[in-house]
Amino acid sequence: MLLYILISVVIVSLLSFSGLVFISMRQKALDRILLVLIAFASGALLGDAFIHLLPESVEAGLKSSFIYVILGMLLFFVLEKFIHWRHCHKGKCDVHPFAYLNLIGDGVHNFIDGLLIAASYLASFQIGIATTIAVIAHEIPQEIGDFGVLVYGGFTRAKALFYNFLSALTAVAGALVGYFSVAYFNTAVLVPFAAGGFIYIAATDLIPELHKKTKISESVEQLIFIVVGIGLMWALKLVFA
């Protein structure tokens, strides 16, 4: 199982280079692609939380499941509030006044992603795959935004890619901590904890970005890709049932 965990977090870490692919695009085309990715990520995160993580936690008999959901949401609130970090999906982001602060906050978030992926695989292979896909779905627009933040903050493109990758590697550290700590505490509590974090990300970071576009055609497109994200999580549930 450790091999699957490491493969998943390495793939997630390599997404830190995704900004290089999109940063040369025209801004209009980039904005359109990002909206599609954000909508899909929102659906995937919500689908993973409600279709995979929470049912698994309830079936496992964890009586405090929804308390851990709340704790997960509160932790992500603390990260945003006190580390002054939040998801950003455009090349220029005024929310990040300091590029280094963005790296620190992103590193903490990636570490938690690693913990969540490890906990999900330890719960079951199905949940591990679903959580990895959900993390990837929201990491792509986030990493594109983070790359833009670092460049805007004064980094050269080469340094922005390098430091963003170093920050992403904390996911590997988080996965190893999660895997090897299973003997010392009940990692099952991380499953509803992950659900709370995913719900928070989708509801407070991603979906508000979608509300910035209000045309009927854009709104319909967003809804379609939210449903596609949820549908993918449902399909995984059926395949691995």
pLDDT at 226 over 90: yes
pLDDT at 173 over 90: yes
CA within 13 Å, CB half, 159: 11
- The confidence band for 206, taking pLDDT boundaries of 50, 70 and 90, is confident
Predicted local distance difference test score (pLDDT) of residue 230: 92
- Please write the tens of the pLDDT for every residue from 34-52: 788 888 888 888 998 899 8
Between CA 188 and CA 181 the distance in angstroms is 12
Query: pTM for this one?
Result: 0.70
Q: What is the mean pLDDT of the chain?
A: 80
Between CA 44 and CA 198 the distance in angstroms is 9
* 102 and 146 Cβ atoms separated by less than 8 Å: yes
pLDDT at 88 over 60: no
For the chain, give me the number of helices (H) and strands (E)?
12, 0
Q: What is the mean pLDDT of residues 59-66?
A: 84
Q: What is the mean pLDDT of residues 109-138?
A: 86
Poorest-confidence range of 23-32, 108-117, 162-171? 23-32
Predicted local distance difference test score (pLDDT) of residue 153: 67
Predicted local distance difference test score (pLDDT) of residue 120: 87
CA within 13 Å, CB half, 178: 32
Predicted local distance difference test score (pLDDT) of residue 222: 93
> Which residue has better confidence, 163 or 89?
163
- The confidence band for 239, taking pLDDT boundaries of 50, 70 and 90, is confident
Residue 190 vs residues 50, 67, 72, 116, 223: alpha-carbon distances, Å: 15, 11, 9, 6, 29
Predicted local distance difference test score (pLDDT) of residue 76: 77
pLDDT at 97 over 70: no
- The confidence band for 175, taking pLDDT boundaries of 50, 70 and 90, is very high
Q: What is the mean pLDDT of residues 56-76?
A: 86
Poorest-confidence range of 79-83, 228-232, 233-237? 79-83
Tell me the domain boundaries of the chain: 2-12+67-210
Instruction: Give residue for tokens 């998801």.
Output: 87
3-state helix, strand, coil in the chain (%, to 5): 80, 0, 20
Predicted local distance difference test score (pLDDT) of residue 96: 40
- The confidence band for 87, taking pLDDT boundaries of 50, 70 and 90, is very low
